[in-house]
Amino acid sequence: MSAPRFTATDHGLSPEMRAAFETDGYLLIEDFVTPDMCDRLIARANALVEGFDAAAQRTIFSTKSVAHAADRYFQESGDSIRFFLEEEALDAAGNLTRPKALAINKLGHAMHDLDPVFSAFSRQPRLAALARGLFRDPLLLQSMYIFKQPGIGGEVSWHQDSTYLYTEPMSCIGFWFALEDADASNGGMLAMPGAHRGSLRKRFRHVGDSLITETLDEAPWPDATPVALNARKGSLVVLHGLLPHYSSPNRSPRSRHAYTLHVIDAAATYPADNWLRRGAHLPLKGF
């Protein structure tokens, strides 16, 4: 099953897009950004990785082991730019098995506020116009640059983004940019259309000094046929915070670079026990 596709415009959310988002919980908008814009973001991410000291910090990010949840380097990354490695990039002794540029899983989680290249990309007028059709008062909360490295790109298990970025009422929406072609062969995404109308199953939050995953609803995922969100370079996938989605491991020789920006509504409450925290020096801002 393939996803319906829309063509990007400078005029924000069309009635057809709104109807599709309300029905399916996602939008796939082609040619939202130019190939040159994608290449500039890729080059900037690679430059940041070049300055990263992989010998000093080796936190792995994995949705299977979630050992990173106990690491202060991860816990305190909400108002920083930090570097997380692929699980298969380290040997049993903790040494890199490949060059660091091919070992990084992702960067996170405040590039959109701390780096001028990422900030300009995140606050481009076309995206601002689209977001204003989805929110009363959008605030940019979290950014991630995902490398999905060739051969070792990690699986991202089925999840809902509001598990990690919870508001009351729930308002999280993800904006996922394909910086390279993404398909079934290199770890492209799947989603369950319409399943955003169900409940939030889990919350990832602080309890004291620890991060825990709290089960809110033990109901299984709905019996929905997943849709492939195959996306050409420059496409934007918009994801409702309650929509279950997944990406497979990347065993191909092709990388699958992507940039994700998560936005919440200023009218909603962002609980203090959310995992992602920002200091008073870096308040949330809009577009």
**In the CATH scheme, what is the code of domain 6-265?**
2.60.120.620
Q: In terms of Cα–Cα distance, which of 193, 217, 213, 196 is closest to 204?
A: 213
Whether the pLDDT of residue 44 is over 80: the answer is yes
Whether the pLDDT of residue 1 is over 70: the answer is no
% of the chain exceeding 90 in pLDDT = 86
Q: In terms of Cα–Cα distance, which of 94, 101, 126 is closest to 50?
A: 101
The whole-number average pLDDT for the span 156-161 is: 96
The whole-angstrom distance between residue 190's C-alpha and the CA centroid of its chain comes to 14
Size of the chain, expressed as the number of residues it contains? 287
Q: State the pLDDT confidence band at 54, using cuts at 50, 70 and 90.
A: confident
The whole-number average pLDDT for the span 36-43 is: 98
Whether the pLDDT of residue 65 is over 70: the answer is no
**Rounded CA gap, 254 and 269, in Å?**
40
Q: What confidence score (pLDDT) does residue 66 get?
A: 67
Domain extent listing, the chain: 6-265
Whether the pLDDT of residue 63 is over 80: the answer is no
Q: What confidence score (pLDDT) does residue 124 get?
A: 97
The whole-angstrom distance between residue 152's C-alpha and the CA centroid of its chain comes to 18
Whether the pLDDT of residue 95 is over 90: the answer is no
Q: Which amino acid is at 239?
A: L
Highest-pLDDT range among 61-65, 221-225, 231-235: 231-235
Judged by DSSP in three states, 131 sits in: helix
Q: State the pLDDT confidence band at 71, using cuts at 50, 70 and 90.
A: confident
The encoded tokens of residue 177 equal 């940019």
**Rounded CA gap, 253 and 262, in Å?**
29
More confident residue, 62 or 75: 75
C-alpha radius of gyration, the chain, whole number: 18
DSSP 152-165: TBPPEEEE-GGGTS
Q: State the pLDDT confidence band at 59, using cuts at 50, 70 and 90.
A: confident
